[in-house]
Amino acid sequence: MTTIKDVARAAGVSVSTVSHVLSGRRPISEPTRLRVLEAIERLGYRPNRLAQGLVSKSSRSLGLLVPDLANPFFGSMAEAMEIAAHDRGYSVILCNTNLDPKREADYLSMLLSRQVDGLLYFPGTRVPNRALLEAVAAGVPVVVVDERIDNLPGVFVDNFDGGRQLGRLLAQLGHRSLLFIGGPEGLPTVTDRLNGLRAGLAEGGSASATVNLLLRFGEYRASHGYETIHACAREGVFAAVGDERPTAVVAANDMIALGALRALRELQLQVPRDCSLTGFDGVEFTAMITPSLTTVQQPSTRVATAAVELLLQRIEAHEHHRDRERANHEHQPSAEATPVIPHVVLPVTLVVRESVAPPPQLR
């Protein structure tokens, strides 16, 4: 997809000059205007998707893309972001990508055509969507949330420390054989939570203790937790004796834990009598199910507020930069300083509830 920067490069002018030609709001010499129009036609650039959003006045609206609204974590986060944006005079357009790259690209195109001032983006896959990278290259302010993307500003929680707190707790209870049910392998949250779990198990156990950690990866969905437990049962994992049998299941999020709990019940394995179970995120239902779920609580309201504030800062910085470009002669662009990529990392809290206990052999 051709970007406004491609047009500027092909025409030998600045991005602001292309914007001025498209908007018609500033005088541009006729030879320069014709050169820009020729580049637009030759490259097949569609200004209604990107350029109009860059040159228009503020729409006082933000785009919010989440990967899975069926997960109450994203629902509660979206609600908190809408409240934070509303309090600051902005509306939010919510888009559920459902982990579909094509759907995500379509939504990005729609949001840009509606001239949103910036994007709040929850990545759902390891590889960033090309449409997102094109929007960033075109100058659209973007803040990522939950999963890190290289060279983009974002707001995250300390997933490593959350995993470490869980690992330390389970090791201190005496668990030495565990099943970790993760989301997509290689996703930053999955990697950080698993590495933290390993560190916590080492910190909480004796120096001579050997830990058996069985790993399974898939989607951040309840169905993955449910199917993984039954698959492990068919493999004889829960029929093993001694240290080979898992005495605790560590789910990488609360939805996976919910599916795992259902499957464990169907296998007549009681939590926590036969097997402890933990989650991650701290969504509301974790306190209401039986047994109540031990989990790592994310500060959703703080994350949402910090993400909205960071995005508004990026929007303001983008507008100042655009104003400076307009003040300079088109053939004498100002030197750009090396950009600082801000990352906000917030702490998490371990919430210990009924779903954990010492392993059966220690009771």
Percent of the chain residues topping a pLDDT of 70: 89
Dist CA 229 CA 161 (whole Å)? 26
Fold matches, 58-157+300-346 and 159-298+348-362: yes
Q: Are 116 and 61 in contact (CB under 8 A)?
A: yes
Phi, psi of 155, deg, nearest 5: -125, 130
pLDDT at 189: 97
Average pLDDT of 49-70? 74
pLDDT tens-digit readout, 93-150:
999 999 999 999 999 999 998 889 999 999 988 888 899 998 998 889 999 999 999 8
Average pLDDT of 247-253? 98
Percent of the chain residues topping a pLDDT of 90: 70
pLDDT tens-digit readout, 334-363:
555 556 789 999 999 999 999 999 998 776
> Which residues are CB-contacts of 240 (< 8 A; sequence separation ≥ 6)?
none
pLDDT at 269: 96
What torsion do the CA atoms of 140, 141, 143, 148 make, to the nearest 10 degrees? 60
Q: Are 296 and 352 in contact (CB under 8 A)?
A: no
Confidence class for position 321, pLDDT limits 50, 70, 90? low
Higher-confidence residue of 69 and 1: namely 69
Q: Packing angle between helix 15-23 and helix 4-11, nearest 10 degrees?
A: 100
Neighbours of 266 (CB within 10 A): 12
Please report the DSSP string for 234-303 in residue order.
HTTGGG--GGGS-SEEEESSHHHHHHHHHHHHHTT--TTTT-EEE-SB--GGGGTSSSPPBEEE--HHHH
Please report the DSSP string for 10-67 in residue order.
HHTS-HHHHHHHHH--S---HHHHHHHHHHHHHHT--TTTTHHHHHSPP--EEEEEES
- Break the chain into its structural domains and give their ranges: 4-43, 58-157+300-346, 159-298+348-362
Confidence class for position 300, pLDDT limits 50, 70, 90? very high
72-81, 124-133, 285-294: lowest mean pLDDT where? 124-133
Dist CA 147 CA 162 (whole Å)? 15
Confidence class for position 49, pLDDT limits 50, 70, 90? very low
CATH, domain range 58-157+300-346: 3.40.50.2300
pLDDT at 54: 47
Mean pLDDT computed over every residue of the chain: 89
Beta pairing class for 349-351 and 295-297: antiparallel
Q: Are 309 and 122 in contact (CB under 8 A)?
A: no
Dist CA 332 CA 248 (whole Å)? 64
Dist CA 128 CA 262 (whole Å)? 33
- SS3 of 206, please? coil
Of 221, 228, 276, the C-alpha closest to 253 is 221
- Is the predicted pLDDT of residue 319 greater than 80, yes or no? no
Average pLDDT of 303-319? 91
Dist CA 310 CA 225 (whole Å)? 34
**Matching residue, tokens 């939590």:** 271
Distance of CA 288 to the CA centre of its chain: 26
Average pLDDT of 299-308? 96
> Which residues are CB-contacts of 327 (< 8 A; sequence separation ≥ 6)?
none
pLDDT at 72: 96
Q: Are 61 and 114 in contact (CB under 8 A)?
A: yes
Rg of the chain, C-alpha, whole Å: 25
Distance of CA 39 to the CA centre of its chain: 36
Domain covering 159-298+348-362 assigned CATH 3.40.50.2300 in the classification: yes
Q: Are 233 and 196 in contact (CB under 8 A)?
A: no
- Burial of residue 323 (number of CB atoms within 10 Å: 0-12, 13-18, 19+): exposed
Confidence class for position 208, pLDDT limits 50, 70, 90? low
**Matching residue, tokens 């994350």:** 303
Confidence class for position 320, pLDDT limits 50, 70, 90? low
pLDDT tens-digit readout, 144-191:
999 999 899 999 999 999 999 999 999 999 999 999 999 999 999 999
Neighbours of 226 (CB within 10 A): 20
Would you mind telling me the total number of residues written for the chain in this entry? 363
